[in-house]
Amino acid sequence: MAQVRVAPPGSVRLAALPPLAAYVHLPWCVRKCPYCDFNSHERTGALPEGEYVDALVADLEALLPSVWGRRATSVFIGGGTPSLFAPASIERLLSALRARLPLEPDAEVTLEANPGTAEASRFAGYRAAGVNRLSLGVQSFDDRMLAALGRIHGADEARRALDMGLRQFDNVNVDLMYGLPGQTLAMAREDIAEAVRRGPSHVSAYQLTIEPNTVFYRKRPELPAHDACADMQLAIEEALGAAGYEHYETSAFARPGRRSRHNLNYWQFGDYLGLGAGAHGKLSFAERVTRHARARQPREYLEAALHGRRGSLVEEQTVAPRELPFEFMLNALRLVEGFPVELFAARTGLPLAAAETGLAEAERRGLIERDRRRIRPTERGRLFLNELLALFLPG
C-alpha cells in the first residue's frame, strides 16, 4: 500500500479544481552532464522502451481514479533525453495516454530532445506521433562552452538540429545557459543572437548554478563573477525583447501566443500527474492539495509499476495548509506579470490573508507591487527572487 501522510485538518476549500497537465519522465541519457542534478541515468545497452511504456501505462491507470472526469491541457515528455526513444515508442505512449486521459483538442504536447544527429533525424516521426512542440537542449552554440559543459553535441550539430526542428514543428523552444566556465559577455550575447537568427518561438535562458550531487559540485569550475552574470542576464533580456520575445517568467521568453502552456500551469499552481521514474506530481481535491513522487531508479520503477507494488512505487502526501502559501508563491512569483489576486484562493483554497505577513514585508522591502487586482514582483524582486520567496516560508 502507498505511503500516505495526511496533514492536520486545515481550512482548505477549493471552489473548483485547477487545470490538469501530465508530465512523463524518460530518465535515460547518453552521458550525464557534470552540472545535471536531474533524475537521469546513463544508457547502458539497449533501452527497455516497450517495458517502460508498459510501466507508464500501468502507472497512469492506477492514478486515473484521482482525476476522473478531468481533461488534460498539456503533456510534457521530459528527461533524461526522451529523444533516445524511437518515434514508435512515443506514438504508443501518447496513444495509450489519450485512450485513458482525455486531452483538450488543442492540447500542447512537448518532447525534450538532444541536438545529437541520431536524435534529430527522428523529428518527423515525433511530429507524426502527436508531438506538437519541441524543446531542444542546445545550451550554447559555442564549441568551447559545450565542451566545458560536458555536452555530447557540437555547435554545428546544434544549428542543424534546430533548423531540422523548425522544419518539422512550428513551436520550438531552445534551452540556453549563461554564466558558463570561461564565458564572456560577448559570448553570451552571440549565443542569443544565434538563436534569434534561426527563429524559434520560445527561448529558455538559464544561469548555470552549481547543485549538490553533481560533478561540478565536487570539482567546481571557475565561473564568471556575479556582476558579470548579472550583465549577461540583462543583455539577454534586452536582446530578446528587441527581437520581439515577451519575457514572461524568470528564464522564459516567447513570441506572442507561444508561451509554454505546460510550464505556465506549473507557475500558476495548476495540477499535474507525474509519471515515470523520479517524477513528481500535484493533485487538488475539494478540501486538500496533494503531492506524489515516483521511485527514482528506473529498474525499481519498472518492477513496481509492472507488478502493482504501489508501496514501493509512490509516496503520497497531503500538503499542510501552512505550507501552501510558500508553495504557491514559489511558482507564481516567477512570473514577470505576477498573478491575479483571486488566483491565490482559487489554487490554494485559502484566503489571501494567509499570505499577508509575507506580502506586507515583501512590499515594504520593494520586492513586490500590488493593487486590488494583481500582485507582481518588482524588478528588484525578480533579481532577488530567493529573498522574496523566503518571506513565505512557514514559521
Q: Where are the domains of the chain?
A: 3-266, 322-390
For residue 89, what is its C-alpha cell? Answer: 515508442
CA atoms within 13 A on the CB side of 381: 29
pLDDT given at position 6: 41
H-assigned helices in the chain: 49-63, 87-100, 117-120, 123-129, 143-148, 155-168, 185-198, 215-218, 226-242, 261-267, 298-306, 310-313, 324-332, 341-348, 356-364, 379-383, 385-390
Supply the pLDDT for residue 306: 87
Report the C-alpha gap between 24 and 279 in whole angstroms. Answer: 7
Q: Are 18 and 270 in contact, with CB atoms under 8 Å apart?
A: yes
> Exposure string (b/e) for 338-374, b if CB count within 10 Å is 16 or more?
bbeeebbbbbbbbeeebbeebbeebeeeebbeeeeee
CA nearest neighbour of 297 among 312, 277, 316, 315? 277
SS3 label, residue 66? helix
What's the angle, vertex CA 329, arms to CA 324 and CA 176, rounded to 5? 130
Q: How much is the pLDDT for 3?
A: 42
Q: What is the DSSP letter of 335?
A: B
Q: C-alpha 3: how far from its chain's center?
A: 26
Tracing cell 555530447 back to the chain, one arrives at 152
pLDDT value of position 311? 61
**Which of 356, 357, 365, 360 lies closest to 386 in space, CA to CA?**
365
Residue 34 and residue 219: Cα distance in Å, rounded? 9
Closest CA to 111 of 100, 96, 125, 99: 125
Q: Which residue in 87, 157, 154 sits closest to 125, CA to CA?
A: 87
Could you tell me which residues are beta bridge partners of residue 4? Answer: 316
CA–CA distance, 290 with 331 (Å, rounded to integer): 16
Length of the chain measured in residues = 395
In the DSSP assignment, the letter for residue 365 is T
Say if residue 311 is preceded by a cis peptide, omega within 30 of 0.
no
Task: Give the separation between CA 60 and CA 56, rounded to whole angstroms.
Answer: 6
Classify 322-390 by CATH class: mainly alpha
User: Each residue's pLDDT tens digit in the chain (395 positions)?
Assistant: 344 344 344 589 999 999 999 999 999 998 888 888 888 888 888 999 999 999 999 999 999 999 999 999 999 999 999 999 999 999 999 999 999 999 999 999 999 999 986 677 899 999 999 999 999 999 999 999 999 999 999 999 999 999 999 999 999 999 999 999 999 999 999 999 999 999 999 999 999 999 998 999 999 999 999 999 999 999 999 999 999 999 999 999 999 999 999 999 999 999 999 999 999 999 999 999 999 999 999 999 999 888 877 765 678 899 999 999 999 999 999 999 999 999 999 999 999 999 999 999 999 999 999 999 999 999 999 999 999 999 999 97
Q: What is the residue type of 31?
A: R
For residue 146, count other CB atoms closer than 10 A to its CB.
21
pTM for this entry? 0.94
Give CA separation, 144 vs 57, 178, 202, 211, 222, in Å: 41, 13, 24, 22, 14
Q: Which amino acid is at 30?
A: V
Q: What is the largest CA-CA distance in the chain?
A: 58
271-275 and 20-26: which strand pairing? parallel
Q: How many CA atoms lie within 13 A of 319 on its CB side?
A: 25
Check whether domain 3-266 has CATH 3.20.20.70, yes or no: yes
3-state SS class at 303: helix
Whether 196 contacts 239, CB under 8 Å: yes
Give the three-class secondary structure for 255: coil
